[in-house]
Amino acid sequence: MSLVVQKYGGSSVAEAASVKRVARRIAQYRRAGHEVVVVVSAMGDTTDDLIDLAERVTPTPPARELDMLLTAGERISMALLAMAISDLGLEARSFTGSQAGVITDSAHGRARIIDVTPGRIRTALDDGAIAIVAGFQGVSQTTKDITTLGRGGSDTTAVALAAALDADVCEIYTDVDGVFTADPRIVPAAQHIPVITPEEMLEMAASGAKILHARCVEYARRYSVPLHVRSSFSTNTGTIVAEVDRVGFPISFNEMYLPSKSNQEPAMDTEASLEAPLISGVAHDRSQAKITVAGVPDIPGKAAGVFQAVAKAEANIDMIVQNVAVGQTTRTDISFTLPAADLAATMAALEAARGEVGYSELFADNKIGKLSLVGAGMRSHPGVSAKLFSALSEAGVNIEMISTSEIRVSVVTRADVLDDAVRAVHHAFDLDSTEGEAIVYGGTGR
Ligand code: ADP
Ligand code: ASP
Ligand code: MG
């Protein structure tokens, strides 16, 4: 018997019929003798709809109340799923994040998990029940208020519970057959990746590949939780996120829990994996914005002044570029990217610091896109950036900013050419599949 944590995303439980379909899948695992903890997201686009609803009431909802509202989405799906399971003759008990012991800090909308005390979940399992937990939510240790973990945060709930319960595996069920070399909604020729290392997966997720919440990958790596991403609409093998041995086989990954091992394809083609691939994939991110602070005096302390103001707005800065402004040798321009959701607060903080920093103008731009090429094999291949830039130029895409890490190159483009850019780069690095189009089973891609 093993302990399995399964997370079902919103597209897997979009309607009553899908709730029942997922319940049957869960029941199959329980009947095979496994202990099962299920983490569930809000149905379909419920979270987006609730945000829209709040914005129709007020453009600036208090963060505490917005969290209270949004967590209602997961409550609906957890209760319905427990009902559907009980209809199949098995016992299921649903728990809110707070009841499941997900303790967070008090940063509403982006709370971090600081402890997990799953006593009630353990008791439910000991009683033979299936535990259903509302994803994406917790309770603040200090204020006792209900918090959310940020968009896509149910993945992190699942991994945190898997770590706290010492689960054998954490399965993330979604609407595609695992991780691909690009978002299959944009690149139909994207290739399925059978095994990906936590390092590469983290870089993909942090670069915007929303198949997994970046913090979930971080958490899984830190606590050595085996992660398995798969579709809830098929029985295909999905993607294993794990360290690999010299020939590309996942290390320390217990496959015993798989219900029908005979149906499984080998995790990876040994012949093909003898050499690490150069590129693991192309990620894109549409949720970023750009601020340019123009005419900043070119003297020590001014960049610090700009970023102190930004820090006050608690924005997470990604790329930073500083240039000497043309024709003015004593002033520079500083541009940086940040989550579009933090744009207004950051602009306000910079406006307030105008006198102190002494810059001349401020520009906000929320029509940008970010494309990132990720691959551990890049380390030893110096030509990657050059090839990326020529692929973009051939596609007529202008590059506005560039940043690199050891295993990633990212560029900022106009938002309206981002999809074309992703397809062009995917093609230029020979990532296109020869085995037909990737299947997207559900979801709206919202
Ligand atoms: P869920 O509701 O199950 O959490 P999400 O919409 O958050 O699902 O994540 C799944 C989606 O992630 C897919 O439908 C796909 O459009 C998108 N995606 C982005 N990048 C990738 C990638 N590299 N591989 C697979 N899917 C990706
Ligand atoms: N329902 C939340 C969201 O849409 C959390 C999640 O799906 O992971 O972001
Ligand atoms: Mg998600």
Tokens describing residue 68 = 């209270």
Q: Name the pLDDT band for 250 (thresholds 50, 70, 90).
A: confident
> For a pocket test of ligand 1, which of 155, 157, 174 has the largest count of ligand atoms closer than 8 A to its C-beta?
174
Q: Name the pLDDT band for 248 (thresholds 50, 70, 90).
A: confident
Give the ligand whose atoms come closest to the C-alpha of residue 75.
Answer: 2
Q: What is the C-alpha separation between 30 and 267, in angstroms, rounded? A: 24
Q: Determine the distance separating the centroid of ligand 2 and the alpha carbon of 174, expressed in angstroms.
A: 12
Give the ligand whose atoms come closest to the C-alpha of residue 186.
Answer: 1
Atom of ligand 2 nearest to the CA of 154: 8
Atom 15 of ligand 1, residue of closest alpha carbon: 183
The response to whether residue 94 sits with its C-beta less than 6 Å from ligand 1 reads no
Q: Determine the distance separating the centroid of ligand 3 and the alpha carbon of 75, expressed in angstroms.
A: 17
Domains 3-274 and 280-430 share a fold: no
Give the strands of the sheet with 35-40, arranged side by side: 92-95, 130-134, 35-40, 3-8, 169-174, 227-231, 239-241, 195-196
Contact 97, 134 (CB under 8 A): yes
415-440 pLDDT per residue, tens = 999 999 999 999 999 999 998 899 99
pLDDT value at residue 97: 98
> For a pocket test of ligand 2, which of 6, 40, 47, 232 has the largest count of ligand atoms closer than 8 A to its C-beta?
47
Tokens describing residue 69 = 């509202």
Instruction: Find out if CATH 3.40.50.10860 is the number for domain 3-274.
Output: no
Q: Which residues line ligand 2 (CB under 6 A)?
A: 9-10, 41-42, 47, 73, 135-136, 151-154
| % pLDDT > 90, the chain | 83
Q: Is 159 helix (H, G, I), strand (E, B) or coil?
A: helix
Residue owning tokens 């689960």: 167
Query: What is the CATH architecture assignment of 280-430?
Result: 2-Layer Sandwich (3.30)
216-242 pLDDT per residue, tens = 999 999 999 999 999 999 999 999 998
Q: What's the CA dihedral at 236, 244, 425, 411 to 10 degrees?
A: 120
Q: Could you say which DSSP state residue 275 is in? A: S
Q: Give the phi and the psi of residue 186 in degrees, each rounded to 5.
A: -105, -35
Q: Determine the distance separating the centroid of ligand 3 and the alpha carbon of 154, expressed in angstroms.
A: 7
Q: Name the pLDDT band for 444 (thresholds 50, 70, 90).
A: confident
Atom 6 of ligand 2, residue of closest alpha carbon: 152
Atom of ligand 2 nearest to the CA of 152: 8
In the chain, what are the domain boundaries? 3-274, 280-430
Q: Determine the distance separating the centroid of ligand 3 and the alpha carbon of 207, expressed in angstroms.
A: 14
The sign of the torsion formed by the CA atoms of 257, 262, 268, 270 equals positive
Confidence check: pLDDT of 93 > 60 = yes
Secondary structure, 3-state, 48-117: HHHHHHHHHHCCCCCHHHHHHHHHHHHHHHHHHHHHHHHHCCCCEEEECCCCCCEEECCCCCCCCEEEEC
Atom of ligand 2 nearest to the CA of 73: 1
Contact 196, 164 (CB under 8 A): no
The response to whether residue 229 sits with its C-beta less than 6 Å from ligand 1 reads no
Contact 132, 86 (CB under 8 A): no
Bridge partners (DSSP) listed for residue 104 = 113, 140
Q: Name the pLDDT band for 268 (thresholds 50, 70, 90).
A: very low
Among the residue ranges 151-155, 266-270, 310-314, the one predicted with the least confidence is 266-270
Tokens describing residue 212 = 């997994």
Task: Single out the residue of 40, 39, 38, 32 nearest to residue 2, CA to CA.
Answer: 32
Supply the pTM of this predicted model.
0.92
